[in-house]
Amino acid sequence: MIYGENSSKNTIGVLDLQGGVCEHLDHLERLGIASRRVKEPLDFEGIAGLIIPGGESTCLSRLIRIFDLEGCIMGAFKKGMKIWGTCAGAILLANGILGENPLLKLIDIDIERNGFGSQLDSFCTEAKIPDVSQEPVPLTFIRAPKICRTGENVRILLRFPDYIAAAENDQVLVTVFHPELTPCLAFHRYFALKCGFSALEFFPSEPNGKWSSKSWTRLARLA
């Protein structure tokens, strides 16, 4: 059973231009949440939330402009749609990007692209994030940015000694890591609740289907 499958207001969209689209769709499906790919203006109708996936931020920024989706995102946001940006998605949502011009400017943070270095400096770790999960959350950083500053209306969810890795305001969630590349569903569940889904007891106690690093590939074949 997909929770909310008969109501577009209980649907979460994933921006399908470039990046880790299928991995997010797989996690939402495992939670029993109705989801859809968002590629054109009509796809924004009625969705409760939008995930902007990780990928290449410059490429995503250009594609958003080429397909004239910036106005659609801003329009849906003004009507209450929540947005979650992972890695490159967080860069697109930031109010400030060190050395570059920001795009959407929907959360008062400054962010540094490739904050850890090159692709070779990618790494995995885990951390306790009490607001998101009672258990340690696995974290995958791939050529990740760093959040260097947050405004007074931004709540920090995960801070390390020299950078911030996750933050939010009332409508926007940003993570510089990739929850969709781990079996953990904690951040997808957290975002669903932020989007107005019912309390945790309405989600399945056991995720639908087992996860592997290749679980998402079946969705890629359906694209």
Give the Cβ contact number of residue 101 at 10 Å: 8
Of residues 180, 184, 188, 195, which has the active-site annotation?
A: 180
CA distance 94 to 155: 14
Of residues 87, 184, 188, 195, which has the active-site annotation?
A: 87
The per-residue pLDDT for range 126-153, each reduced to its tens digit, is 999 999 999 999 999 998 999 999 999 9
* Better-scored residue on pLDDT, 191 or 214: 191
178 is catalytic: yes
Query: Which pLDDT value is given to residue 120?
Result: 65
180 is catalytic: yes
CA distance 183 to 125: 14
pLDDT more than 70, % of the chain: 83
59 is catalytic: no
Of residues 22, 24, 168, 178, which has the active-site annotation?
A: 178
Is 90 exceeded by the pLDDT of residue 207? no
* Domains of the chain as residue ranges with CATH: 8-220 (3.40.50.880)
